[in-house]
Each structure stands twice: as C-alpha cells, then as structure tokens.
Amino acid sequence: MGEVFENSVIKEIINRYKFIWSIDYAMGLLEWDMETYMPKEGIIERSIANRHLSVLEHRLLLDPELVSLVEKAKSIETLNDYEKGVVRVLDREITKAKKIPESLIAELREVTIRAHEAWVTSREKNDFSIFKPYLEKIVELEKRMADYLGYVEHPYDALIDYYEEGWTTKDVERMYDSIIPELKSILEKVMSDSRYPKCHYLESYKYDITKAVEINNRLLDILGFPRTRARIDVSEHPFTINFGIRDARITTRYEGYDIKRTIYSAVHEFGHATYELQIDESLSGTPLARGVSMGIHESQSRFWENVVGRNFAFTKIVGSLIREYFPELKNFSDEDIYYYINTVKPSLIRVDADELTYNFHVALRFRIEKMLIGNEIKVSDVPDIWNNTMEEYLGIRPKDYKSGVLQDIHWSQGSIGYFPTYSLGTIISAQVGYAIEKDLGKKLGDIIDSRNFAEIKEWLKRKIHRFGATYAPKELIRRNLNEDVNPEYYISYLKNKYL
C-alpha cells in the first residue's frame, strides 16, 4: 500500500505508541515461552514480571500527551481510512483503560499467569478442586471489570465487546437462535443416515509421533507456511501468537492416536498465523498491525480448517501423506480418508468436534459464562451445569473433568467473553468461502486440487488480511464481502455438504 500515514498528528501518535507495542511484544514472547518451554517453577517470577509489564503498558496508554494527541486527531476531518483506524483503535483502548483501575489490571494479570499452571496441573490430575479457587478469583475480577467498563443491559456485554467490537449479549443470543435449531435438524438427519460415519478405524489407530510431526511440516509447506517468518511447536493447548507481521508462531499437540486431531489443529492455527503475516507491511508497529477481532480471526482459522481442510480435494492430500508415512494404511482410499476426517458424532472435546456439533460446544460455554457473570450461578456449580448441558445438547455426558470443564485453556487466561467468537468465526468462514468462489469464478475444490493455495491466500490478503485493524469488524465484512454477517451461508454450506 505504500506510505499510508501522512498526517503529522497521526505520525506522532504512532511514534509514541511504539513503546506500548514493544511491551506487547515482550509480553507475547513471555506468554509463548510459558506455554512451550518454560520450566514449571518459573511461573512465580513470570507472574510478577507480567504484572509489572501490564501496569507499565496501562500507564503508557494513559500518558497525558498520547491521550491529548488522540483527542486532537478525533477532530481532524481530513484523515484517511488508515489514520481514522489508528484513532478508533487507540480511542477505544484509552477509553477502556481510563475506566479500569491499575490495580485490577495488575491483579488479573498475575492471577491468570498462576492460573495457567493450576489449570495444567488440574488437567494432569483430573482434579477440578486445584483450578477452582483460581477460576473463582478470575470470575470475581471479570465481574469487576464489567462493572468498571459499563454496559447497557447485561454485564456480559462489556466482556464480549472486548473481543468482538460492537457485539452484545443479544447479538450472541440471536446468532445461536438462528443456527442451533438448524444444526439440530441437520445433525438428526445425518445421524439417521450412514453416509457420514459415527466412528472410523483410524480414530483409534496409534501413530508414531515423529512421523506425525513430519506430516504436519509437509502439509504446512504445501499450504505455504513461511518458515523464515513462522514456526510450529508443541503445547498443551494449540494456539497462535504473533510478535509483529514477520514473526508468527503456532503450536499443536500429539496424543498418539486419531492423527486428524493434530493435523487439523495445525491447519487451524495456520489460518490464524496467515492472517497476521499478511497484514500490510506499512502498518508494522502501529495499533493496526493485528487482527481486528477474535471473530474475524476465528473466521480465518475455521476457513482453513473446515471449508478448505475438510474439502474432499484437501483430504486427498492428507490421505496421500498418511499412506506415505504409514504404509500399513496403504489400502485406505481417498474416500476412506475423507469420511474419516468428516466423521459426525456427538463428542466431548470441542477442538476435536466435527462441523455439525462444534457450535453446541461453544454455545454451552457461552451459556455458562453469561450465568457466571450475571451472578446466576457459582463456580462450584459449573461442572454439573457443564455435564447437564452437554447431555441436553448432544446426548452425552463427560465421565471426568478433563473431558469436561477442564478441557479449555481460556478461562485460566481470563478470556471470558471470548468463546462466542468461535461460532461467529465459523459462520463467517462459510461466507468467505462463498465470496471466494463467486469472485474467482472457481470452485474451492478445483483450486485445492491444483494446490494453488497462493491464490486463496492472495484473495484473503486483498479482502481481509492487509487491513489489519483498520476497519471495525462489522464494517470490514460489509465493505469487503458486500453484506453483513449472514448465517444463511453457513447453514447452506452444511446442508450442501451433509444432506
């Protein structure tokens, strides 16, 4: 895009913001290290360091000179879209920072760092009581956060808006009202049919982890994972983190069975990383050099994981790699691999759920979060509510904490309000797939068959990635997909595929 910042006030804002960006960079690196290589006992000093860095960032954001510059920029009528984006993003952050006491920022940061280790230990020992006091503290702090931020109707509004700018609890409820009945209907029909299997031999096949690592790396290379700007590691819960537009890091996990789990975790995280790596270089080091929201971010990971990754053309690529590295599976045809990857059945683990049941998992978490923040339930109630709701939605019940309430990392990070963005992103992913086929005049399957993933990535860059956080999420979709978020594309995608 060339030089996009021309206004002198905006340039001064960006220069001052570099100090905040640098702290973000450092905290991101500390977080990545904590979830990958940090010795277990390092958590004590790490939590203190993160606490002080968070406070320092909060103070820099409220620096009177920066605040004054942003206020001045708000009245300038000649700003271009990128300059307006800088003002929108920073004004939003400053407004929130003014409302939140420094002590709350510090306490939440330190508690969540310690809570991460408690969550890991709880999972290992399958003992909710270890994590419970940390979750109680996090919920208490998040309630206070919502009160400080303010809301019109429900305290959860303040938390969902943190992750998805402009969204409210009612927006989330409308989203689920529009898709859950349709999903139930489609799932019922698929479960009564035998075309998409409920289980597959390969789900219990025990694989050599060293070979699975090679398959993931080969697949990432086929997709165009830029090794000089990105890397893949292993963590308890797969994630993506970026340190700018030239350094994105993803993780997966290897459980030793059901190899599609690690493969599709890697493909999912590849989608997140690609978004960050394709932001225009002119935005580097600015408030715009980030994904605009978690819903848009999840649309990119879910697009690659499902719309591309579970397409028959892509499962053929996966199948060829599986047969190459595991010759004993050479008799499994492309069709066998496709149906293995697209098994449909109620299951307990969200990250491994199929396309039809996935959003029930997310709706469950939204339901619990809303009740927790609304003082309708206590943390001690959560395991039973979790199990009962899982039974209500999918007819199955967790037998332990690890496959139930302890399976996700997010609450240990204080990420309450985050989960609905998974469903929003899943909906948008189908809308993106439709727009790509319409614009390029080609079926995605044909593009995948030719292994021309660069063509897909270029479209995503042009329409979504390059802008970073320039436009608010609703505006970005409206401008570049030519309509608002529309769940009908998602339901149509599922019906066309499964029915």
Binding site, annotated residues: 268, 272, 298
**Rg (Cα) of the chain, in Å, rounded?**
22
CA end-to-end span of the chain: 44
- Sign (positive or negative) of CA dihedral 114, 120, 122, 124: negative
Catalytic-residue membership of 269: yes
Residues 6+ apart with CB under 8 A from 356: 183, 186, 187, 190, 344, 494, 498
Residue 192, exposed/middle/buried by CB under 10 A (0-12, 13-18, 19+)? exposed
Q: DSSP states of 316-330 as a string? A: HHHHHHHHHH-GGGT
Element (H, E) at 250: strand 248-252
User: Of 293, 289, 342, which Cα lies nearest the Cα of 314?
Assistant: 342
Tokens of 380: 């001690």
Q: What is the DSSP letter of 25?
A: H
Residues 6+ apart with CB under 8 A from 417: 142, 156, 158, 159, 160, 161, 162, 163, 369
Q: What CA–CA distance (Å, rounded) separates 127 from 125? A: 5
User: Of 413, 467, 455, which Cα lies nearest the Cα of 241?
Assistant: 413
Q: Crossing angle of helices 8-36/81-99, nearest 10°?
A: 60
Compute how many other C-beta atoms are within 10 angstroms of the C-beta atom of residue 487.
21
What φ, ψ does residue 403 adopt, rounded to 5°? -90, 5
Tokens of 340: 């293995």
Residue 191, exposed/middle/buried by CB under 10 A (0-12, 13-18, 19+)? middle
What is the amino acid identity at position 39?
P
Q: What residues are designated binding site for Zn(2+)? A: 268, 272, 298
Given 57, 83, 142, 269, which residue is catalytic? 269
Task: Kindly list the catalytic residues.
Answer: 269
